[in-house]
């Protein structure tokens, strides 16, 4: 049902009309302000998501492919073993013990498994 301004003659009608116009203007202002605040909140949320995604990308790019500090086999322990003679550093001590005689990276025959210590690792 549409809202219409009550009709009345004389000064009372004028006062009622002015009051009706003020209230209608106030309601329209509230609706416009609410919509603006929603857009601003959405913009802030998107900006926060953008910052988080840029940080994730920066971290991913800083290690680069094949440069992770985690074991390539279990992916949960730090790198601790160098396989010789190929020189690949790709696994932890536990996985190195279980490893066959082939390097998981290049499939070269592993003659020796040397413990290593990477500065700054966990």
Chunk the chain into consecutive blocks of 10 residues (it has 122) and report each block's average pLDDT, rounded to whole numbers. Answer: 59 78 84 83 81 73 64 90 92 93 93 85 54
Whether this prediction's pTM lies above 0.85 is answered by no
Q: Which run of H or E residues covers position 89?
A: strand 89-91
- CA 30 vs CA 11, 26, 45, 113: distances in Å: 29, 6, 22, 72
Token couple for 46: 């998107």
């Amino acid at each position: 049902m549409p809202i219409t301004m009550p009709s009345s003659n004389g000064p009372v009608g004028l006062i009622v009309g002015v009051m009706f116009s003020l209230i209608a203007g106030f309601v329209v202002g509230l609706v416009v302000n609410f919509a603006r605040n929603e857009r601003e909140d959405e913009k802030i949320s998107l900006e926060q998501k953008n910052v988080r995604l840029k940080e994730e990308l920066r971290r991913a790019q800083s290690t680069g492919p094949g440069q992770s500090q985690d074991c390539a086999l279990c992916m949960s322990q730090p790198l601790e073993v160098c396989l010789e003679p190929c020189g690949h550093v790709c696994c932890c001590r536990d996985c190195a013990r279980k490893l066959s005689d082939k390097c998981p990276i290049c499939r070269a025959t592993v003659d020796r498994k040397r413990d290593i210590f990477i500065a700054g690792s966990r």
